[in-house]
């Protein structure tokens, strides 16, 4: 047999090269290549057409049973999961350190155990005593959760074989190591091999498996993207550590939609559910300040009202103005600025522009364009937008205001929270309690805001 070649695996993207390099050729990260044991390769002498067993081929047209789902009883968690945990499935929860992953999973484990499920919690990061302390703080000291501090996948599997667990938490997958592979814990091959064995066990036994994953600075789950392909569901736990609220978002879900979010607030006794997120994001709102506009964002089928804040600072000509964005897309801000300049005659090219979505919220909804434009115009002209107004609509490069999905849902949520006026695309229908002002072009809104006719 040919001698296996040395191979170097990028710890960021998982790509393999046969030569050590300072920079990964695929993802361009520096110092991420680590030598790892080569995988066993097939000998060319294998004739794959002989010696296999026949597999049974089935038709599409057959009664299939819907997979069994298990609700953990934390409604926001079950909602993000698309209606509970599926037996025999693997879920990956990623998030920054300290965001509350262990807290959330201990709460889910505690609730499930109290409801009579067989629950096992394996911590590879903390000693059992530490985990126990957290459980006590969360009010689950009496919950029959089976707890262990361990990192060897072989030992863990040997233990799980005897448990018939319904729900298993592995906190975290980066601390696990499998002895079928030589590399050190935390490397891509180790994480992949450990996950593979645990997932296979979950599928075979019908256990709902949850893996906790750390997140790298660019927001992907540390090490291999491959992990995301191996599991059925990927959830991201997000939020600013300095703010109390957290959002659990499905990034991938083989058993449900990826558009629902769960909203939580971190308190002294764990993560509380936030059934009405809009009120949370608007609590500290300073009304009648130029540059502040409320935007009804849509998360799946759920409207969330957030405050868009803009600040512009005019510079003496010559200096290069800064543009900084928190919580929104940089490129989209540049586009809105260009549309304001080219189509509405607002000269912002020598003003510094800062845009912030209040509360550390991250907006992905394209309907935010109009709210951002209104906030920028308001900041630039120092005219506050009336406090009872919301704004939404997508902008095109020609300055048109486009229709967006679910305007009725957005308007109803705003009306519920006491807003009485909406700026949006022309053609939207009003709902009870809220008057609508539709625009087909951004210029019309700018005229209105500046009192030009």
Instruction: Give me the residues that bind ligand TYD (CB under 6 A), please.
Output: 95, 97-103, 134, 137-138, 266, 268-270
Kindly tell me which of 155 and 269 has the beta carbon lying closer to ligand TYD.
269
Paired sense of beta strands 167-171 and 208-214, if any: parallel
Q: In whole angstroms, give the CA distance from residue 340 to residue 447.
A: 12
Report the nearest approach of Mg ion to the CB of residue 100 (Å): 8
Site string for Mg ion, 71-110 (x = CB under 5 A): -------------------------------x--------
Contact map string, positions 264 to 303, toward Mg ion, x by CB under 5 A: ----------------------------------------
**Distance separating alpha carbons of residues 334 and 347, to the nearest angstrom:** 13
Residue 160 CB-density burial (10 A; 0-12 exposed, 13-18 middle, 19+ buried) = buried
Alpha-carbon span 431 to 436, nearest angstrom: 8
Distance of CA 272 to the CA centre of its chain: 18
Closest separation between CB of residue 97 and ligand TYD, Å?
5
* Smallest distance, Mg ion to C-beta of residue 240, A: 17
Of the candidates 425, 395, 397, 394, the one whose C-alpha atom is nearest the C-alpha of residue 411 is 425
Nearer to ligand TYD, 97 or 427 (CB): 97
Neighbour order of strands in the sheet with 33-36: 16-17, 7-10, 33-36
* Of 170, 171, 190, residue with least CA distance to 182: 190
CB of residue 300 to Mg ion, shortest distance in Å:
27
132 touches, from Mg ion, ligand TYD, none (C-beta below 5 to 8 Å by class): none
> Which is closer to ligand TYD, CB of 214 or CB of 343?
214
Instruction: For the CB of residue 267, give the shortest distance to Mg ion in the complex, in Å.
Output: 17
Binding site partner of 69, from ligand TYD, Mg ion, none, Cβ cut-off 5-8 A by kind:
none
Q: Which does 134 bind (CB under 5 to 8 A by kind): Mg ion, ligand TYD, none?
A: ligand TYD
Q: How far apart are CA 129 and CA 142, in angstroms?
A: 15
Work out whether 175 is an interface residue with Mg ion (CB under 5 A).
no
**Residue 137 contact, options Mg ion, ligand TYD, none, Cβ 5-8 Å cut-off depending on partner type:** ligand TYD
Q: Which does 100 bind (CB under 5 to 8 A by kind): ligand TYD, Mg ion, none?
A: ligand TYD
99 binds, among ligand TYD, Mg ion, none (CB under 5 to 8 A by kind): ligand TYD
Q: Cβ of residue 214: shortest distance to Mg ion, in angstroms?
A: 9
Say how far apart CA 167 and CA 210 lie, in whole Å. 8
390 binds, among ligand TYD, Mg ion, none (CB under 5 to 8 A by kind): none
155 touches, from Mg ion, ligand TYD, none (C-beta below 5 to 8 Å by class): none
- C-beta of 135: minimal distance to ligand TYD in Å? 9
**Which ranges constitute the DSSP H helices of 238-355?**
277-281, 330-344
- Give dist(CA 400, CA 442) in Å, integer: 6
Query: What phi and psi, each to the nearest 5 degrees, are found at residue 402?
Result: -95, 155
Q: Applying CB under 5 A, what is the total number of residues that bind Mg ion?
A: 1
The least distance separating Mg ion from the CB of residue 74, rounded to whole angstroms, comes to: 17
Rg of the chain in Å (alpha carbons) = 26
C-alpha 437/C-alpha 453 separation (Å) is 15
User: Whose Cβ is closer to ligand TYD: residue 62's or residue 242's?
Assistant: 242
How many other C-beta atoms can be found within 10 angstroms of the C-beta atom of residue 343? 18
Binding site for Mg ion (CB under 5 A): 102
């Amino acid at each position: 047999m040919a001698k296996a070649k040395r191979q170097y695996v990028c710890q960021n993207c998982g790509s393999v090269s046969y030569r050590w390099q300072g920079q990964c050729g695929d993802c361009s990260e520096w110092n991420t290549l680590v030598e790892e044991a080569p995988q066993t390769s097939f000998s060319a002498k294998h004739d794959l057409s002989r010696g296999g067993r026949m597999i049974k081929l089935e038709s599409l047209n057959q009664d299939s049973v819907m997979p069994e789902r298990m609700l953990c009883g934390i409604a926001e968690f079950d909602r993000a999961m698309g209606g509970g945990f599926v037996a025999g499935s693997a879920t990956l929860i990623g998030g920054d350190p300290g965001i509350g992953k262990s807290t959330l999973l201990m709460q889910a484990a505690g609730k499930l155990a109290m409801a009579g499920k067989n629950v096992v919690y394996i911590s590879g990061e903390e000693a059992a005593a530490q985990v126990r302390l957290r459980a006590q703080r969360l009010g689950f000291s009496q919950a029959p959760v089976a707890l262990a501090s361990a990192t060897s996948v072989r030992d863990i599997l040997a233990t799980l074989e005897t448990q018939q667990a319904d729900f298993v938490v592995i906190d975290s997958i980066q601390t696990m190591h499998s002895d079928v592979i030589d590399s050190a814990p935390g490397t891509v091959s180790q994480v992949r091999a450990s996950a593979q064995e645990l997932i296979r066990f979950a599928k075979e036994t019908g256990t709902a498996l949850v893996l906790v994953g750390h997140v790298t600075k660019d927001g992907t789950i540390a090490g291999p993207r491959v992990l995301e392909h191996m599991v059925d569901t990927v959830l991201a736990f997000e939020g600013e550590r300095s703010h109390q609220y957290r959002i659990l978002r499905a990034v991938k879900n083989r058993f449900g939609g990826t558009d629902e979010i769960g909203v939580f607030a971190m308190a002294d006794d764990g993560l509380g559910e936030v059934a009405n997120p809009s009120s949370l994001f608007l609590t500290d709102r300073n009304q009648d300040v130029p540059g502040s506009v409320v935007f009804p964002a849509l998360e799946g089928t759920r409207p969330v009202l957030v405050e868009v804040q803009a600040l512009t600072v005019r510079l003496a000509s010559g200096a290069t103005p800064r543009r900084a964005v928190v919580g929104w897309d940089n490129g989209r801000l540049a586009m809105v600025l260009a549309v304001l300049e080219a189509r509405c005659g607002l000269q912002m090219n020598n003003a510094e522009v800062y845009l912030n979505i209040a509360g550390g919220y991250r907006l992905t909804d394209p309907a935010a364009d109009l709210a951002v434009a209104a906030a920028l115009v308001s900041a630039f002209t120092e005219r506050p937008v009336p406090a009872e107004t919301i704004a939404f609509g997508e902008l095109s490069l020609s300055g048109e205001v486009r229709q967006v999905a679910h305007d009725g849902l957005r308007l109803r949520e705003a009306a519920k929270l006491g807003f009485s006026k909406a700026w949006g695309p022309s053609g939207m229908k009003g709902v009870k309690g809220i008057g609508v002002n539709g625009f087909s072009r951004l210029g019309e809104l700018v005229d209105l805001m500046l009192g030009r006719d």
